[in-house]
Amino acid sequence: MTALLRAVDVGVAYGDVRVLDGIDLAIGRGELVALIGPNGAGKTTLLHAIAGIAPLCSGTVDIDGHDLARAPRAAKQAIGLAIDPPGLPALLTGRECLALFAGARGLPSIPPATLALGETLALAPVLDRRIDSYSLGMRQKLGILLGLIGEPPLLLLDEPFNGLDPRSALAFKTHLVALVARGDTSVLLATHSLDLAERHATRAVLLMDGRVRRSWDAVELAAMREHPVHSLEKAMAGACGT
Amino acid sequence: MVQVGALVLLVLAWSWLAVVMRASADVFAAAVRLLAAVPWNAHSARMAALRYPLIAASCALIPMAAGTALLRHGVVALVWIVCAGAASAWPLVRLARATRLADPCP
């Protein structure tokens, strides 16, 4: 399997605090990798490091054959990072925000696939409203659409189901699984939803104290699904030593 | 009375320009943060960031010219331009820095 993402010995520090240390992670095409771990483990920082937002203090990140440090634009072309709801520009409308991202990616207009997903997530009726009038769930949906715009091959999603109503969560989950099944899109999903990781991920990676503590491959996850007594929740608790 | 009106025009034009430059720098910095993970083109972004400050500067030149004409002193225009440059310098540095930091390989 060709690695779409290859992170080697990645380290990130905020001042004197080492948040990530020696992370090695490779993701192939058509994989859905769940990044799990307790609060403060470094999940969000790892996503930001891969997206080129958090500067690395050690290691390298290679995306679709492009080194993130040497060729950031080519590397970023291959990733889509869902935007955190608080980071959205309050004074723009949802449609303006989508147009801004489409323009920044060099697209002539908002792709029909993005608008179709907006329709599926029931966001279409409010796209012409200003973002400061959106609820948390609406902002979350818009952040997701911004990450998926242009269908980049590697999606980086940080707790994307937070605040989504059950119907939209199911629709988005179905969309993600379909994208991954097509084989040309991979997903790195930071989540606390172990059920989601167990059911849909092809691999689960446990991050603790800025390091990869343990990972479970597709066979192990399938075994957990067949024998609920060996759930990912219990496996994670065991690996965490609790 | 004419002189007071002229001074008001000059001060309003300068204040308008200073506010717009500051607001443009703030908004552009926010846009750069928002688009941090997107592979945008630094040259296009720089052009887009300068569009509104340039329009604002053009608009500010009209009341400045009117004020200068009312005062009938060419040196007033020169002083105004120096003051406008002083107010615009830091926001322009911020605009340039934001594009350079966000895209080290344009």
State the DSSP string of A178-209: HHHHHTS-EEEEE-S-HHHHHHH-SEEEEEET
Interface of A with B in 195-234 (CB under 8 A): none
By CA distance, what is B44's nearest residue in A?
A104
Average pLDDT taken over every residue of chain B: 88
Domain boundary among A135, A151, A167: A151
Of A44-48, A104-108, A128-132, the poorest mean pLDDT is in A104-108
How far apart CA A56 and CA B25 sit, in angstroms, is 27
DSSP assignments along A54-114, one per residue:
SPPSEEEEEETTEETTT-HHHHHHTEEEPPPGGGS-TTSBHHHHHHHHHHHTT-SS--HHH
Q: Are residues A121 and A211 in the same domain?
A: no
- Is residue A4 helix, strand or coil? strand
Residue A2 has pLDDT above 80, yes or no: no
Q: Are residues A144 and A226 in the same domain?
A: no
Contacts of A44 in chain B (CB under 8 A): none
By CA distance, what is A152's nearest residue in B?
B38
Test mutation, B38, B43, B99, chain A, max A CBs within 10 A: B38
State the burial class of residue A20 (Cβ atoms within 10 Å of its Cβ: 0-12, 13-18, 19+): buried
Cβ of B39 within 8 Å of Cβ of A76? The answer is: yes
- What's the token pair of residue B51? 């569009």
**Closest among A201, A195, A193, A194 to A218, alpha carbons compared:** A201
Mean pLDDT for the stretch of residues B5-26:
94
Distance from CA of A75 to the nearest CA of B (A): 8
Contacts of B46 in chain A (CB under 8 A): none
Element of type H or E holding A227: none
A97 within 8 A of A143, measured Cβ to Cβ = no
B69 at A interface, C-beta within 8 A: no
Test mutation, A73, A105, A139, A158, chain B, max B CBs within 10 A: A73
Cβ of B103 within 8 Å of Cβ of A79? The answer is: no
Split at pLDDT 50, 70, 90, the class of A237 is: confident
Per-residue pLDDT tens digits for A67-94: 999 998 899 999 999 999 999 999 999 9
A89 at B interface, C-beta within 8 A: yes
Q: Are residues A44 and A130 in the same domain?
A: no
Could you say which of B33, B45, B104 has the minimum Cβ distance to residue A72? B104
B41 at A interface, C-beta within 8 A: yes
Per-residue DSSP letter, A19: E
Give the domain ranges of chain B.
2-102
Domain boundary among A100, A125, A151: A151
Q: Are residues A50 and A100 in the same domain?
A: no
H helical segments located in chain B: 2-34, 42-71, 74-102
**Closest among A61, A47, A5, A9 to A28, alpha carbons compared:** A5
Split at pLDDT 50, 70, 90, the class of A227 is: confident
Report the complex ipTM. 0.81
* pLDDT at residue B103, rounded to an integer: 52
Of A98-107, A190-199, B91-100, the poorest mean pLDDT is in B91-100
Percentage of chain B lying above the pLDDT 70 cut: 94
Q: Are residues A141 and A172 in the same domain?
A: no
Overall domain count for chain A: 2
Q: Are residues A90 and A210 in the same domain?
A: no
By CA distance, what is A155's nearest residue in B?
B37
Per-residue pLDDT tens digits for A196-222: 888 889 999 999 999 999 999 989 888
A51 within 8 A of A28, measured Cβ to Cβ = no
How many Cα atoms occupy the beta-carbon half-sphere of A1 within 13 Å? Answer: 13
How far apart CA A60 and CA A52 sit, in angstroms, is 11
Per-residue pLDDT tens digits for B68-104: 999 888 899 999 999 999 999 999 999 888 877 655 4
Q: Are residues A214 and A226 in the same domain?
A: yes
How far is C-alpha A82 from the geometric centre of its chain's CA atoms?
Answer: 7
DSSP-assigned beta bridge partners for residue A5:
A27, A63
Positive or negative CA dihedral for A176, A182, A186, A188?
A: positive
Q: Are residues A176 and A129 in the same domain?
A: no
Contacts of A101 in chain B (CB under 8 A): 35, 38
Could you say which of B31, B37, B105 has the minimum Cβ distance to residue A53? B37
Could you say which of A52, A70, A89 has the minimum Cβ distance to residue B37? A52
Q: Are residues A68 and A14 in the same domain?
A: yes
A18 at B interface, C-beta within 8 A: no
Domain boundary among A111, A136, A151: A151
How far apart CA B104 and CA A137 sit, in angstroms, is 35
A72 at B interface, C-beta within 8 A: yes
Split at pLDDT 50, 70, 90, the class of B106 is: very low
How far apart CA B50 and CA B46 sit, in angstroms, is 6
Cβ of B38 within 8 Å of Cβ of A105? The answer is: yes
Can you give the pTM of this predicted structure?
A: 0.86
Residue A185 has pLDDT above 70, yes or no: yes
Alpha-carbon distances, residue B68 vs A159, B2, B60, B74 (angstroms) = 59, 11, 12, 7
Q: Are residues A72 and A113 in the same domain?
A: no
Mean pLDDT for the stretch of residues A7-21:
93
Residue B105 has pLDDT above 50, yes or no: no
Could you say which of A53, A72, A77 has the minimum Cβ distance to residue B105? A72
How far apart CA A117 and CA A161 sit, in angstroms, is 15
Q: Are residues A209 and A168 in the same domain?
A: yes
Residue A140 has pLDDT above 50, yes or no: yes
How far apart CA A199 and CA A222 sit, in angstroms, is 8
Instruction: Domain of residue A52: give its range.
Output: 3-78+152-240
Split at pLDDT 50, 70, 90, the class of A195 is: confident
Percentage of chain A lying above the pLDDT 70 cut: 99
Q: Are residues A37 and A145 in the same domain?
A: no
